[in-house]
Structure 1
Amino acid sequence: MSPDVLSIARTIRMMPVVREPPSIDEKIRQAPKDAHLWSLEFFPPKTVLGQANLYERIERMTRSLQPSWVHVTWGTGGSTRDSSLELAARVQNGVFDPEEDVSSVTSPRDGACDVCLHLTCTNVDPVYLDEALDSAKRYGICNILALRGDAPRGEEYWVATDKRFQHAIDLIRYIRARHGDYFCIGMAGFPEGLSRGTEADHQRELAFLKEKQDAGAQFIVTQLFYDVDGFVRWYHACRQAGITIPVIPGVMPIQNYSSFLRMVNLCGATVPQHVLDLLEPIRMDDAKVKDTGIQLSMELIRTVRAHTDIQTFHIYTLNLEKSATNVIKGIANVPSPIPDLPGAETWDEFPNGRYTDARSPAFGEMDGYGASLKLPPSQAVQLWGTPVDEEDIARMFTRYVSGQLSCVPWCDIPVWDETTQLLPMLLRLNMPKAEGGKSWWTVGSQPAVDGCESSDPVFGFGPEGGYIFQKAFVELFLTQEDKEALVAAIRASARPVTYFAGTCDPSSMETNVQRQGLNTVTWGVFPGKEVAQSTIIEEASFRAWRDEAFAIWREWELLFPPRSATRSLLRRIHDHRWLVTVVHHDYKDPDALWNLLDQVQTAR
């Protein structure tokens, strides 16, 4: 387990301060006019195995791509502070062996790469913020990206942990006041604006950027964008507004179609029609989407360079390797990977949601910023209402699976086409008990598939000429009584059925899967390739998702006033429901899982 910030700080207080590397603004200023400068962004993985694999991946990528620096993200409210600081310290000092204590290292090793550590200031205790800054300084980290971070609740009811930290500019001023000029401080930029408002709104946002620059910010890293013309206009508007510090465009290569849609919806990014036209015909083929994303990113970079004086670009890697590597090698003259490190073709380059391989550094959600509702508070309340009893919750889930709601707190995109095959069963599961349902709230499901063609418009993925297989599975929020009834039915089943179950208590775990056992529930067989296992349910992945799923109940709760009926309801559900994932292994019988669930007698 990663040591917390305080223990790291205590351990390293006696360490000498290591050399201060060149800051980001110095590197950009000193670079030749025809140079290509790159930064790569990584986030702390959710599992121990993913963490170890990320160390290996970063070492390989920094050696082969030679980025000028690496960004390490910091979860909203400091939710990843322990793992973020440890990851940043390891990269800064070249300590990539997960068994080695990074706090014992007194100077950077061969393979070290300068780090820009992200920090957010909302809902953060200043003690932890001070410890993080002091520890970063001790580890030789001199670059900080100062972010506000989303408030972890609705604005109306959000009360800052410390009133000194309401906006990113407050964090910039605090760092300057406490540490002088030691840190090179960056800020975020939004080429499409924080809101799609009037010209006056956009001018106000530019004025805010200028104010942050005047407060001590020394560079800007932008949010992802695909509208290059819009970015170029925004960049020149920044310069006209007196913003003179370096602007570093954020480039996110498209990894697969569903994650692309999720990210642009989350960020509110405009997608030009020609990009959509390129992706739509190949959206089911992840390899072709990834290759197209690489080409689009290279085209974006070349266009920005042709119309601005920008020579530095920030690559959002999403903890994946192939796309970032190919984009950089396609634009700049960088050496090939050194022979004694593994190649860039890795086994987890095609992530597929929360149940990918838990060994993957990219396991789970794709942004790395922790649990959130991924909607503005006002929109969330408008969509999901103000529930006052469990029947209201059941009706919300029922509306979602039937296609009447575009999202729920745990699923930020509409239900997939394959869900229509399960609709009668999902309605019976989710509907209130008073209306003939079970009030078992589903947050994930899939039907069994026995060898459909990979070009199938509903179930297909990957290159043509392959075949897709799926085991039926479902994950649900259940009461204690209903969980026990379901588990009893699983144990009595003569056919192979496995499950994982847990509550909000991290120590709670029930399963009939042997330790280290794997549940591959979706796989594809393609000509001339190894079997692709795109969805794997195992203990590590279930635990990580369980923690996030219950954290989302708390995020939803905080949209409502203290002591309100809705807030009390959501807290009660968070405290007492179980999350249960069930897999039926007979993928040749499409009805097997659903017949089993139908037979379970629910508590009334």
Structure 2
Amino acid sequence: MSGSGRIDEKLASLKDDQYSWSLEYFPPKTSEGLANLFPRVQRMVSALSPAWINVTWGAGGSTRESSLELASRIQKGIFDAQDDWRGNGSGGCDVCLHLTCTNVTHESIAAVLEEAKSLGIRNILALRGDPPRGDEYHVESESQLAHATDLVRFIRKLHGDYFCIGVAGYPEGLVDHGESDIERDMANLRAKQEAGAQFIITQLFYDADALIAWYKAIRKHGITLPVVPGIMPIQNYHSLRRMANLCHLRLPPTLLESLENVRLDDALVKDLGVSVSTALVERIRQETDIRAFHFYSLNLEKSVTRVLQQVGAMSETAMSEAWDEFPNGRYGDSRSPAFGEIDGYGASLKLPPADAIRLWGTPVDEDDIGNMFAAYVQGTLSCIPWCDIPVWDETAQLLPSLIRLNSPPSKGGRGWWTVGSQPAVDAASSTDPTFGFGPAGGFIFQKAFVELFISDEDKQRLVERIAKDPSVTYFAGTADPDSFESNVADGGVNTVTWGVFPGYEIAQPTIIEELSFRAWRDEAFAIWREWEQLHHPRSATRQFIRKVHDSRWLVTVVHHDYKDPNALWKLLTE
């Protein structure tokens, strides 16, 4: 659909027997990923005819330029990455641009709204964004933009009724400060309506009963805004568990049981995800008057298309055999439209401030940090700033080495803090409970690698040691974006996990190369800054974390002899 249609008008025009749907995309972290997203969006707009498309907005405006570029191209129908994205196009789709108000100024929000208006965008999803990390995040003059309700009022004040404004709804309750409060959520949603909001898009959910009960409850509370349920087809087992942890989702026991039965086969997990999403849509259509659904695509194509086919919203169409249909996060191919954070919202701690301080304390020296990392790899700490889920089963094989690497020198360790690792694997079965993935009958291979924060002196010594072993490659960088070292030739790629399956091309789900390393390096050091801001500006903890941020290197080391499971760990610990 082209033009500058408002979402409230689209929803109001639906007849009783009509349904509509929308799609959501996030800006990939690399320019290659963004360029490759354009043709995917074009295919999906053409094949699926969404009523509108949402474009996400990184915390604190961190994705401003890429979000606006993506939104403009979609609005104007300019999907050739080589074109001037401010030119004229055809075949576009109405856009709903996300905006967050936490940790930004009135002036920056006003500038974005003017830019959106100049691009012909009529729809805004007003979100609070990540909660404040500390008093320094807000100055007195900005206190009016602490919540999504404030943002709705601010948009209305500046632009009257020009923008159609949507807000978020939480069928299972918004967990804030470590707890959920349904009555508080209802009051907040009512306040958003009174401030001028015109529709609600819900957080993802997998419990239809919860959505239906919540929908009935908000109507009893006098909330009359049209509701668009947010549906996210499950793409793989680990991404779902991570998202459940991040969003505090309740996963029904029957769903968890079904997932456990197929979790090693990514294709079967995706099939299950399509079935679950289809059932959610059909149940909600049967038991409510809701007639629009929003799909969180994760920048992927097939699952959403299959759901819409199964609910009868569209006819069977040929789907592209895309080379990156499985989410690959920061370890995948940096050219992928799905490369980057699972939600596209950028670096954040994924925890309320009170929980983060309770878990990680107030470190003032390197021993404190080393003890935290060592506790995490041993499983006595549930998460660290860079890893928001417990360590995976395969880490057990590396435990002695990881403990030695992470522990402080005062405890016999190296004081090297690891944020990612995997052991070497030589032809494990694809059904292996620890290393397996993909269909049965295949074999899995892995090269050992590790990612760690180390001092400048230790980095120099490690690089000297690596120079003596042709089987080892590395990437290294500091918080300075121009800082980069590697012994990998320009354009070189390290495939560190691959699978061989009957009747399929070789799958390469884990790739480490310069572009993906640089993207992760930027995020990893941004997380130090996020953690720093939990603490008072003059505190010893904040000053120490800033010192670490400024002085440490992030280094990724890959050992290519996957037949020797101890090769990398001997190099690092000897």
Are 1:397 and 2:373 counterparts? yes
- Name the SS of the counterpart of 2:254 in structure 1: helix
**8 Å CA contact 2:173, 2:180 repeated in 1:** no
> What amino acid does structure 2 have at the position aligned with 1:120?
T
Matched residues in 1 for 2:360 and 2:175: separation? 23
Q: Which residue of 1 aligns with 2:100?
A: 120
Structure 2 counterpart of 1:528, from 503, 521, 529: 503
Mapping of residues 408-557 of structure 1, within 5 Å = 408-493=384-469, 495-557=470-532
Matched residues in 2 for 1:135 and 1:424: separation? 54
Q: Which residue of 2 aligns with 1:84?
A: 67
Deviation at 1:479, TM superposition (A): 0.4
**8 Å CA contact 2:42, 2:79 repeated in 1:** yes
Cα-Cα RMSD: 1.7
Aligned length: 572
Structure 1 residues 406 and 205 mapped into 2: Cα distance closer, same or farther (>3 Å)? same
Q: Which residue of 1 aligns with 2:558?
A: 583
Q: Which residue of 2 aligns with 1:103?
A: 86
Mapping of residues 20-99 of structure 1, within 5 Å = 21-99=4-82
Are 1:190 and 2:180 counterparts? no
Deviation at 1:345, TM superposition (A): 2.3
Structure 1 residues 476-485 or 201-210, which shifts more? 201-210
**8 Å CA contact 2:245, 2:389 repeated in 1:** no
**8 Å CA contact 2:174, 2:180 repeated in 1:** no
> What amino acid does structure 1 have at the position aligned with 2:344?
G
Deviation at 1:196, TM superposition (A): 8.9
Q: Which residue of 1 aligns with 2:190?
A: 210
Structure 1 residues 346 and 70 mapped into 2: Cα distance closer, same or farther (>3 Å)? same
> What amino acid does structure 2 have at the position aligned with 1:450?
D
**8 Å CA contact 1:294, 1:323 repeated in 2:** yes
Structure 1 residues 404-413 or 206-215, which shifts more? 206-215
Matched residues in 1 for 2:407 and 2:184: separation? 47
Deviation at 1:152, TM superposition (A): 5.0
Q: Which residue of 1 aligns with 2:111?
A: 131
**8 Å CA contact 2:176, 2:352 repeated in 1:** no
Structure 1 residues 295 and 200 mapped into 2: Cα distance closer, same or farther (>3 Å)? closer
- Name the SS of the counterpart of 1:164 in structure 2: helix
Matched residues in 2 for 1:44 and 1:371: separation? 13
Are 1:406 and 2:386 counterparts? no
Report the TM-score, using the length of structure 2 for normalisation.
0.97
Q: Which residue of 1 aligns with 2:346?
A: 370
Mapping of residues 337-356 of structure 1, within 5 Å = 337=317, 343-356=319-332
Are 1:159 and 2:138 counterparts? yes
- Name the SS of the counterpart of 1:71 in structure 2: strand
Structure 2 counterpart of 1:292, from 258, 265, 272: 272
Structure 2 counterpart of 1:567, from 538, 542, 557: 542
Matched residues in 2 for 1:279 and 1:352: separation? 19
Matched residues in 2 for 1:587 and 1:478: separation? 24
Matched residues in 2 for 1:379 and 1:588: separation? 42
Mapping of residues 265-280 of structure 1, within 5 Å = 265-280=245-260
> What amino acid does structure 2 have at the position aligned with 1:125?
T
Structure 1 residues 55 and 167 mapped into 2: Cα distance closer, same or farther (>3 Å)? same
Structure 1 residues 396 and 507 mapped into 2: Cα distance closer, same or farther (>3 Å)? same
Deviation at 1:186, TM superposition (A): 0.4
Deviation at 1:592, TM superposition (A): 1.1
Structure 1 residues 174 and 307 mapped into 2: Cα distance closer, same or farther (>3 Å)? same
Q: Which residue of 2 aligns with 1:6?
A: none
- Name the SS of the counterpart of 1:522 in structure 2: strand
> What amino acid does structure 1 have at the position aligned with 2:83?
E
Mind listing any 5+ residue stretches in structure 2 that lack a counterpart?
none
Deviation at 1:434, TM superposition (A): 1.6
Deviation at 1:333, TM superposition (A): 3.6
- Name the SS of the counterpart of 1:119 in structure 2: strand
- Residues 102-132 of structure 1, C-alpha deviation per residue, up to 9 Å, x if partnerless? 1233xx51x2011000011111122221221
Q: Which residue of 1 aligns with 2:222?
A: 242
> What amino acid does structure 1 have at the position aligned with 2:349?
L
Report the TM-score, using the length of structure 1 for normalisation.
0.92
Matched residues in 2 for 1:319 and 1:498: separation? 31
**8 Å CA contact 2:477, 2:554 repeated in 1:** yes
Matched residues in 2 for 1:497 and 1:294: separation? 41
> What amino acid does structure 1 have at the position aligned with 2:452?
L
- Residues 111-156 of structure 1, C-alpha deviation per residue, up to 9 Å, x if partnerless? 20110000111111222212211111111100000111113524x5
Identity across matched positions, percent: 62
**8 Å CA contact 2:61, 2:100 repeated in 1:** yes
Matched residues in 2 for 1:332 and 1:124: separation? 43
Structure 1 residues 466-475 or 266-275, which shifts more? 266-275
Matched residues in 1 for 2:521 and 2:165: separation? 35
Q: Which residue of 1 aligns with 2:309?
A: 329
Matched residues in 2 for 1:326 and 1:20: separation? 27
Structure 1 residues 200 and 387 mapped into 2: Cα distance closer, same or farther (>3 Å)? closer
Matched residues in 2 for 1:508 and 1:32: separation? 58
Matched residues in 1 for 2:64 and 2:52: separation? 20
Matched residues in 2 for 1:187 and 1:269: separation? 19
> What amino acid does structure 2 have at the position aligned with 1:225?
F
Deviation at 1:183, TM superposition (A): 0.5
Are 1:174 and 2:146 counterparts? no
**8 Å CA contact 2:478, 2:553 repeated in 1:** yes
Structure 1 residues 201 and 408 mapped into 2: Cα distance closer, same or farther (>3 Å)? closer
Matched residues in 1 for 2:229 and 2:75: separation? 23
**8 Å CA contact 1:23, 1:142 repeated in 2:** yes
- Name the SS of the counterpart of 2:573 in structure 1: helix
Structure 1 residues 228 and 103 mapped into 2: Cα distance closer, same or farther (>3 Å)? same
Deviation at 1:488, TM superposition (A): 0.6
Matched residues in 2 for 1:157 and 1:273: separation? 42
Deviation at 1:402, TM superposition (A): 1.0
Are 1:224 and 2:204 counterparts? yes
**8 Å CA contact 1:72, 1:84 repeated in 2:** yes
Q: Which residue of 2 aligns with 1:385?
A: 361
**8 Å CA contact 2:329, 2:338 repeated in 1:** no
